[in-house]
Each structure stands twice: as structure tokens, then as C-alpha cells.
Amino acid sequence: MLVANRAEIASRVFRTCRRLGIETVAVHSDADSGLPYVREADVAVRLPGSSPADTYLRGDLLVDAALRSGADAVHPGYGFLSENAAFARAVEDAGLTWVGPTPESIEAMGSKIRAKEIMRAAGVPVLEAPPVPTEGDFPLLVKASAGGGGRGMRVVRSLEQLPWEIGLAEKEALSAFGDGTLLVEPYVERGRHVEVQVFGSTVLGERDCSIQRRHQKVVEEAPAPNLPDEVRSTLHEAARRAADAIDYRGAGTVEFLYDPGSARFWFLEMNTRLQVEHPVTELVHGVDLVAMQLGEGLDTPLVPRGGSTTEGRGHAIEVRLYAEDPAADHQPQSGVLTRFEIPEGEGIRVDAGYESGSTVSTFYDAMLAKVICHAPDRATAARKLADTLARARIHGVTTNRDQLVAVLRSEEFLAGEVSTGFLSEGLVTGLRPSSTSVEHGVAAAIALAEKAGAERTVQRGVPVGWRNVRSQPQRVEFTDGTVVEWWDRHPSVVAASPASVTLETDGVRTTYDVTINGDPGREWVDVDGPTGHARLTRKPRFTDPADALASGSLLAPMPGTVVSVAVEQGAAVTAGQPVLVLEAMKMQHTVAAPYDGVVTTIDVHRGQQVAAGEVLAVVEESA
């Protein structure tokens, strides 16, 4: 079995293959050569290059890899070419087994435009957008016709923005799916994203995937909370009709937009593949969807065609752990995961694509792992999952871990009050990651002092740091603005070492795990405690004048590739006007002018790779 994909989903398919005694073949780009899934496979085939267009989107290279490695079958995973009918046909034409639905089904649902026509004919309600929108028709949603996952998807709130957003969505769709075709539909504010898992025309319950950022799912659960029984049964029947309309075979998902206020729902799309969130269905219904796919591909179906198995056991919640910074509009992050440890226990499942020491590149999706909890009820699942995430140790790359914990512990989530606006519209309090606490700073400073003391040569009988005259307190400053006075009295230090610091405040003791990295004087410190994780970088005592930046410098918010430059040097710009566009992790990011002024410098060109913090351009503010 060759898995024509990467990272977490490749490891997931390999796990079932090993259980069934099937040998495995991995394919990998140059950027992915060190990831765990490559090592887990029996054999691995290199795809030269790193960009998706050069590697995982090259169907000819994938088929060639299968033939050269002696594979009998190809599993597409999700994303990339998983819903590409031409690739499915190429696999079958090469004499290989395609582990997925028929190319005809993929083709029917692969275009969201054609899919809506088929659903309309089958009596499934669909969202309709006007052919020529006017200002009164906004907000609208521009989305890629050939794929999902939030790529090529933009909310547009005015007629003036429409051309620009269509251009960005088209580029994203072309980069992610090799097809820039778009469609436009009404955008329903604060609706719920509810999807139904099917296998052929058999229904395996539904999932709620409403909590999203940038139209990409963050938290998924089964069954959907607060869903009236009559709506649930009607959704299941609509999904069954959708599958029957194209004589569907294998695992698929029919996605709907549900409006709780009116109890109405509309067809969004059908994913003719395995979903990222499939584990919650597996845990609730006690099935292995990958094994079922393999059985279907080998003509030994493991599930009867037709009917329903909606009765599940307990409740399952999945969160997607992303390499991104929620405090900076969820900007993707990259770098080396110096520590990546997620505790597993009863009811906890971790599907990870990375491990300690892995490099997170800028070429692919920002998802590092999925963490899933199955429990007898929803409240227990949320509580256990939040605790698991809080005890995880994730260093080197900023993630959304603390925000996920806040979501799972929020009153609104626990009450089942979820919607697609849960994160983006500020409807729920307490979801912004908190700033570094005093305790985090003190723990970091004390650990640095302990490390320095352990490494310092000491004269016999003279304590470390001893002075024979009174002086000012020592200060430790960090680049985020945190300042710790050496003689701070609160909190008090109970015990300390370079790896652990116990503090006491008002009689309450708390222990913080500390990891120190970097060279003396320029260390960064990872501090983990009950209130979350903080990464603090020690501020140098003396600043190199060469490090100073000109006023108005536009810096790269993350490593990426310059895909377009919208202005020329000397051009006058207004506040918010796009200056250039970066692409990182298959998403387009606009870098805009901070104020009215003149572009005095453009330091980059189209196609250039840039590092985080690199100066891209300089805008001189108007008088």
C-alpha cells in the first residue's frame, strides 16, 4: 500500500496496514525527509523538491513511485490529489487498486458547482448566490470549487473587496489543488457546520465541526451537541440521498450548514475521501474507517450497503494542534520542535505527524497533530482533553494549544453553544491566549540564575553572587517586555534548579517545568505551568546598532515566499493598502501599509524566499 500523502494521515493509514499485515510505502518531499512517517513505512520513495506543485501534486511521480516500489494499491489520504478523478484513473490505468470511491463519483462531487446541481436534483437544499451580486447581497463567501480545508476560501463584505479577494482565493486554490476555479455563495453568519459520515449509502452518525478559524476546522466532535432529533434524522436522510444520487462507494462525508434559529440546513459539499476528523466517528461507533476502505478496495466490504448505524457509544472530541500564533491572527509558524510530548492515557488518542526534533516547514499545512478524547459523556471528554493538552510539552514553535484549552474549558463550549463565529467574532470571552504571567517570568529568571551559578567557578567559602557593598537589585529582562527584579519578594522561591522552579504566592505552591536553550546571555526559556506555556527570550544587555530598523519597516510575519508585489518604489499608498503578498503553508497573507505614506524601499521580488522578521519594504509616513 502506497500512501500518496504525508505526515499525520500517512502514519494513520500505516497503523491500520500494519494491523492487517499489509506492507507500506511512503513518499516524501525533501522538506519531509526527516518526519516520522518516512521511517515508519517499510520503504520510502523521494519526490525531489519541496513545494506541493513539485511533489505531492504530481500524479505521474506518485504512480511511478508505486510501480517502482512494487506497491499493489494507492491510498490518497486527504488533501492534495485525494479528490482528483484524473489521478484516480491514472492509478487504475497503471494496474493498481485505488482505495477510494470511483473516479466518476469523485468527478461528480469534485466540482462544487456541479455537486450543487446534482444535490438540487436529488431534493437536497443548497445555498444559492445571485449571478450578479449587488451591495445588498453581502457578505458572500468565495471558495475553491476543487478542494476544501479553508484554502481558496474568503469572506467578502463589500463589492469593492470582491475582485481582490477573488484574486487571492484563485491563487490559493491553484497552489493547493492545481485548479483555480471558484464559486460564490451567501455567507451565513454564526451558522453551524454539521457533517454526516457515510460509507456507501450507510450513515455512521454526524459530527459538529463549527469551531473554525480562517474557515478551517479546529475542534470537531461526535455526536453534534444540541441538535434536535428531527433535524438529526433529516440530515442523515439528506446525506443518504446525496450518496445514492451518485451511487457512492467507500468512505465519504456530506457537509451541511445548519442555522439553529430557523432549524434549516443547506448542502455545502461532499468530500469523496477520508476526513481529517474521522477519529471521532471511529471512537463513537467502534469502527476503523481505514480498514473499511481497504476492505472495499479489495472487494471484501466490511459494512453492509444501505441502512444506518447512527447509534453510537459516548462522546468524542478532537482538536487540531496547529503551528500558528492565535495572538497574531493565527499566523503560521515554522521551525524546529525542540520538544513535542503529548501524554496519552485512557480514552486519549494522538494522531501526530511530528515528534521532538522535527522541523515544521513553510510548504504545507500547519497541523502538527490531532488529539482526541472519547468518554461516556461530552463534559468528561472536554475536561479530559483539556487536561491532556495542558500537560503537553510543546517547545520551539508557537502553537494554538493554550487557545484550545481555553475553548474546551469555556462555559459556552460546555453548554454546546458552538458556531462558525465562535473564534473569529469574539462571541466567547477568555479565548485569547493570556500574556506571560509574573510567575512565568520569575521561574525563567530563577532557572537562568541557577544555570549560571552551576556553571560559574566559585572561590572556596564565597557564595555565588556575593558582594561586599550594597547595590541595586539585579534585573532580568525579556524581549516581550517582562522584567524580573532579582530581589522580588512575591512570589517567593521555595525550590529551584535549571529545570524546575517551585514558587509560593499567598501560601499556594506551584511548580514550573523549565527548559533553557541558546547561548549564555541570549537564552530563550520555555516555562510550562498550570496557566499554560510561555516562551521568554532573554534581552541582551547591549543592543547592536546594526539591529536597529528604519521607521516604517514592513517585516515578514512568518517565513514564506513572495508571490506578488502590488506597488513600486516611490508609490504613494494609503493605510491598509496591500503592498505585497506572501504565501506560507498554502495560505496567502497580505502585507499592507501601516499608514498613509510613500514606499521608499522595496527589498524583495516575486518568488523570493524570506525569513520571519526580514524587512520586505519601508513606508515613510506622510507629514
First-residue to last-residue Cα distance in the chain: 65
**Under 8 Å between Cβ of 88 and 231:** no
Element (H, E) at 374: strand 367-375
Residues 173, 205: one domain?
Answer: no
In a domain, 38, yes or no: yes
Could you tell me which of 271, 262, 239 has the C-alpha nearest to residue 123? 239
Residue 429: per-residue pLDDT: 56
Q: Higher confidence at residue 45 or residue 144?
A: 45
Can you give the residue range of the structural domain that contains 19?
Answer: 2-99
CA quadruple 35, 36, 40, 46: dihedral, nearest 10: 0
Give per-residue pLDDT as tens, 84-117. 999 999 999 999 999 999 999 999 998 777 888 9
* pLDDT above 70: percentage of residues in the chain: 90
Task: Give residue-wise pLDDT tens across range 167-179.
Answer: 888 888 887 777 7
pLDDT in tens, 158-216: 888 888 888 888 888 887 777 777 878 777 777 899 999 999 999 999 999 999 988 88
Spatial separation of the C-alpha atoms in residues 155 and 193, rounded to whole Å: 16
Q: Do 182 and 207 reside in the same domain of the chain?
A: no
Residue 399 belongs to a domain with what CATH number? 3.30.470.20
Q: Are residues 165 and 239 in the same domain?
A: no
Which residue, 514, 515, 592, 521, is CA-closest to 552? Answer: 592
Based on the fold, state whether residues 247 and 373 are members of the same structural domain.
Answer: yes
Relative to beta strand 524-529, strand 508-517 is antiparallel
- Which pLDDT value is given to residue 495? 94
Task: Give the model confidence (pLDDT) of 7-36 as tens digits.
Answer: 999 999 999 999 999 999 999 999 999 999
Q: Are strands 553-555 and 524-529 parallel, antiparallel or unpaired?
A: unpaired
Residues 6+ apart with CB under 8 A from 77: 3, 4, 5, 6, 9, 10, 13, 273, 274
Three-class secondary structure of residue 429 per DSSP: coil
Separation of alpha carbons 479 and 537, rounded Å: 6
Question: Is the domain of 342 the same as that of 234?
Answer: yes
Q: Which amino acid is at 135?
A: E
Q: Give residue-wise pLDDT tens across range 281-293.
A: 999 999 999 999 9
Asked whether residue 283 is domain-assigned, the answer is: yes
Q: 162 with 237, same domain?
A: no
Q: What's the pLDDT band for 552 if we cut at 50, 70, 90?
A: confident
pLDDT of residue 382: 98
> Which tens digits make up the pLDDT trace of 314-325?
999 999 999 999
In a domain, 421, yes or no: no
Domain shared by 278 and 370, yes or no:
yes
Query: Cis bond leading into 491, ω under 30°?
Result: yes
User: Residues 6 or more apart from 353 whose CB is under 8 A from it?
Assistant: 6, 7, 8, 9, 10, 11, 35, 36, 37, 367, 368, 369
Q: Is the pLDDT of residue 585 over 80?
A: no
Residue 136 belongs to a domain with what CATH number? 3.30.1490.20
CA distances from 99 to 105, 177, 249, 586 (A): 13, 20, 10, 26
514, part of any domain: yes
Does one domain contain both 264 and 354? yes
Higher pLDDT: 585 or 579? It is 579
What percentage of the chain exceeds 90 in pLDDT?
57
pLDDT confidence bin for 152, thresholds 50/70/90: confident
Report the amino acid identity of residue 548.
A
The pLDDT of 67-78, averaged and rounded, is 97
Q: Are residues 199 and 268 in the same domain?
A: yes
- Structure confidence by residue, pLDDT tens digits, 456-487: 766 666 666 666 676 666 788 888 888 887 65
Q: How many distinct structural domains can be found in the chain? A: 5
> Per-residue pLDDT tens for 523-535?
889 999 988 899 9
Note the pLDDT tens digit of each residue in 375-389. 999 999 999 999 999
* Beta strand ranges found along 138-276 (DSSP E): 140-144, 154-156, 182-186, 192-199, 202-213, 216-222, 251-259, 264-271
Q: If you ran DSSP here, which 8-state letter would residue 126 be given?
A: B
Answer with the one of 186, 205, 225 that is the final residue of a domain.
186
| Predicted model pTM | 0.84
Residue 79 lies in a domain: yes
Closest by Cα among 68, 70, 74 to 17: 74
pLDDT of 545 over the 70 cut: no
Q: Could you give phi then psi for residue 239, rounded to 5 degrees? A: -65, -40
CA distance 231 to 603: 56
Final residue belonging to a domain, choices 99, 119, 150: 99
**Bigger pLDDT: 436 vs 231:** 231
- What DSSP state is assigned to residue 610? E
Same domain assignment for residues 409 and 371: yes
Tell me, yes or no, whether 511 and 616 share the same domain.
no
pLDDT at 188: 76
State yes or no: pLDDT of 587 exceeds 80: no
Tell whether 478 and 580 lie within a shared domain: no
Is 257:191 a contact under the CB 8 Å cutoff?
yes
- Mean pLDDT computed over every residue of the chain: 88
* pLDDT number for residue 185: 78
- Indicate if the alpha-carbon torsion angle 458, 459, 462, 468 is positive or negative: negative
Peptide linkage before 139 cis (omega within 30 of 0): yes
A 10 A CB-CB count for 353 gives 24
Q: Is the sign of the CA dihedral 614, 581, 218, 428 positive or negative?
A: positive
Half-sphere exposure of 123 (CA within 13 A, CB side): 7
Residue 517 domain-assigned (yes or no): yes
The three grid cell numbers given for residue 478, joined into one nine-digit string = 525579556
From 512, 537, 562, the end of a domain falls on 537
Residue 289, helix vs strand vs coil:
helix
Query: How far apart are the C-alpha atoms of 289 and 282, rounded to whole Å?
Result: 7
In the predicted structure, residue 407 carries a pLDDT above the cut 80: yes
Looking at the domain assignment, is residue 460 inside a domain?
Answer: no
Residue 424 belongs to a domain:
no
Q: Is the pLDDT of residue 431 over 70?
A: no
Give the model's confidence band at 301: pLDDT under 50 very low, under 70 low, under 90 confident, else very high.
low
Q: What is the pLDDT of residue 506?
A: 87
> What's the grid cell of residue 132?
450578479
| Coil/strand/helix, residue 21 | coil
